[in-house]
Amino acid sequence: MGRFPNIIGASLAVCLLASCASNPSQAPVNDQFERVNRVTYRFNEKADEWVLRPVAVTYDRVTPSPIQRGIGNFFSNLGEPVRFVNDVLQAKPRQAVTDLGRFVLNSTFGILGFFDLATDWAGLPRSDEDFGQTLGYWGVPMGWYVVVPLYGGTTIRDGVGAVADWQWNPLQTIDEERVEWSLLALRVIDLRAGLLDADQTLKTVYDPYSFVRDAYFQRRLAKVYDGNPPQPRLEGSDDGKMAPPWESN
């Protein structure tokens, strides 16, 4: 269908995952639209408060943990082709073979990915690559930070990456729209349910917007450099920018 889903609550999923990240290097923050972003952030908060969180709470209460784990495994397995493509684009052949092997094993013996046999039986580690990281790997800067209504915080680079990744997601190939949107809604609800315990985190900070934004930049920086970003250069014509991973390796 060639479209990228903007579903209520994706913002909070990304933001809370980002807030759990910790990295000593400071990521550059480019928030030219902060005033508008803050308005959109508050709108997304209310959308989560009134719609998504109540649904996620109910889902968490009525769905047994093994089933929730299986649903999470199923959607994670659907992301393996995306990770494989980005492994190849980032010149990581060993990781590409691992991710391809994970997809084949879990899609067959793991019953469409509901069981993560690649991790439990084969000991194949799960990676986390996307096209936004691929662009960063080759030196493309993050660009402006933008909070999208009913989607959440992202950057120009990561927004382009998300659209590209969606083209490679097996869900995009489903011809029946009702099935596709049902699965997408289930994915968002499952993600939100997994983050219910983290809700208290944002309530303890003085400025949740800045906290989420800064954590997002730090998390994305860490992902581009596989958790080990170099210190910024302090001298030279690059004005303190970091070398892209392909150059620093």
The pLDDT of residue 13: 44
How far apart (Å, rounded) are the C-alpha atoms in residues 30 and 10? Answer: 21
Q: Which residues pair with 153 in a beta bridge?
A: 147
Domain that holds residue 167: 10-248
Residue 4 located in a structural domain: no
Task: Please state the rounded mean pLDDT for residues 216-233.
Answer: 84
- DSSP classification of residue 52: I
Q: Is residue 182 part of a domain?
A: yes
Residue 203: predicted pLDDT: 80
The proportion of the chain whose per-residue pLDDT surpasses 90, expressed as a percent, equals 65
Query: What confidence tens digit (pLDDT) does each residue in 30-44 have?
Result: 899 999 999 999 999
Whether 5 shows a pLDDT value over 90: the answer reads no
Q: What pLDDT score does 197 carry?
A: 85
Does a structural domain hold residue 148? Answer: yes
User: For the chain, how many helices (H) and strands (E)?
Assistant: 13, 2
Q: How far is Cα 90 from Cα 178, in angstroms, rounded to an integer?
A: 35
The CA distance from 117 to 114, in Å, is: 9
Compute the distance between CA of residue 13 and CA of residue 152 in angstroms, rounded to an integer. 9
56 Ramachandran zone, left/alpha/beta (phi>0; psi -120 to 50): alpha
**Is 131 part of a structural domain of the chain?**
yes
CB 8 within 8 A of CB 52: yes
Instruction: Output the CA torsion 47→51→56→59 (10° steps).
Output: -170
In a domain, residue 65? The reply is yes
Radius of gyration of the chain (CA): 18
Task: Flag whether 2 is in a domain.
Answer: no
- For the entire predicted model, the pTM comes to 0.84
Q: Using CA atoms in the order 147, 211, 155, 167, what is the torsion angle rounded to 10 degrees?
A: -80
Residue 1, domain member (yes or no): no
C-beta pairs of 97-105 under 8 Å, 24+ apart in sequence: 98/124, 98/125, 98/127, 99/127, 99/129, 102/77, 102/126, 103/77
| List of residues 6+ apart from 94 with CB closer than 8 A | none
Instruction: Kindly indicate the confidence band of residue 237, based on its pLDDT and cuts at 50, 70 and 90.
Output: very low
What pLDDT score was predicted for residue 26?
60
Give the number of other Cβ atoms within 10 Å of residue 170's Cβ: 14
> Based on the structure, what is the number of domains in the chain?
1
Tell me the average pLDDT across 123-140: 94
